Amino acid sequence: MMTVGQMRFRIALTALVALILTVLPLPKWLDVLRPAFLVLTVLYWSINTPRAAGIGLGFLCGLVLDVFQGPVLGEHALALSIVAYIAVREHQRIRSKPAFQQSLVVFAVLVFYEFVVFAIDGWTGHPITSPLRWLHCLTGAFVWPMAAAILSYSEGRLA
């Protein structure tokens, strides 16, 4: 069993990889399909190790996301805190579900996350009304089983 410190180190590492995947320049058509890797990572850790991850991780990752691509500081931080809170609260219920049902839950959470970002975008006067912005929820739910498998490998469950 790993200590919380070791766990946090691994979490930070996977979050960094997810961040790089998130800000990697991609062609436009691929860019709108790109899943929100950092959100998925926060979601995974909040569900599976709520003690080491949790809302603080969500907030920090969101703040980093804001620095890279937010029109306002704190926007993604708030949205990801909410995501992490939902995940921590419901972690036992989500964890026990089979992969397909987990994907459905993840889809719902991603839509909610995007809605929060969308709303804050609008309130702060930086609206993006293109329906393409919701597309990543679908791809995110689609890649969730794979992402969860990779992350659980990094957690040391299979190794």
What are the residues binding other proteins (CB under 8 A)? 19-20, 23-25, 28, 31-32, 50-51, 54-56, 58-59, 62, 64, 67-75, 77-78, 81-82, 84-85, 88-89, 92, 120, 124-128, 130, 132-133
Which is nearer to other proteins, 93 or 153 (by Cβ)? Answer: 93
CB 53 within 8 A of CB 46: yes
Question: If DSSP codes are grouped into helix, strand and coil, which group holds residue 89?
Answer: helix
In the complex, the smallest distance separating the C-beta of residue 85 from other proteins, rounded to whole angstroms, is 4
How far is residue 54 from each of residues 61, 87, 106, 118, 135, measured CA to CA in Å?
Answer: 11, 8, 16, 23, 26
CA distance 136 to 85: 21
Which is nearer to other proteins, 69 or 149 (by Cβ)? Answer: 69
CB 151 within 8 A of CB 41: yes
In the complex, the smallest distance separating the C-beta of residue 100 from other proteins, rounded to whole angstroms, is 26
Which is nearer to other proteins, 89 or 100 (by Cβ)? Answer: 89
CA distance 137 to 35: 7
In the complex, the smallest distance separating the C-beta of residue 158 from other proteins, rounded to whole angstroms, is 25
Which is nearer to other proteins, 88 or 148 (by Cβ)? Answer: 88
